[in-house]
Amino acid sequence: METIIIVTHEVENFARWQEEFYAGAGMRHDAGIIILGVYRDLSNTNMITVISEAPSPEVAEAFIHDPEIKTVWERVGIAGNLK
């Protein structure tokens, strides 16, 4: 069963986040994660929502909780908690 992942977070700098996001394409591909859309809030362009698809809930959970992903999130300045 495919699983939809919706992640909303605020970043310190969208341009820096975007560079890292594109650089992580191979990592997402290897995990079977497909990006369906990236959206920015009109009133706060550093607030981002990413909608993606994973092959299963287990793959989604493993990817989101991967320590390497957490390191990337820290590096790109994700502010606050993920929603």
Distance CA 43, CA 41 (A): 6
**pLDDT tens by residue, 64-74:** 888 888 787 77
- Amino acid (1-letter code) at residue 74: E
Residues 5 and 69: beta-carbon distance below 8 Å:
no
Biggest alpha carbon–alpha carbon distance for the chain: 35
Provide the β-strand partners of residue 4.
Answer: 53
pLDDT at res. 83: 45
**pLDDT tens by residue, 29-39:** 999 999 999 99
pLDDT at res. 4: 95
pLDDT at res. 31: 92
Q: Tell me the domains of the chain and their CATH numbers.
A: 3-79 (3.30.70.100)
Residues 49 and 39: beta-carbon distance below 8 Å:
yes
Q: Cα–Cα–Cα angle for 21, 25, 28, nearest 5°?
A: 105
- The percent of residues in the chain predicted with pLDDT above 90, rounded, is 55
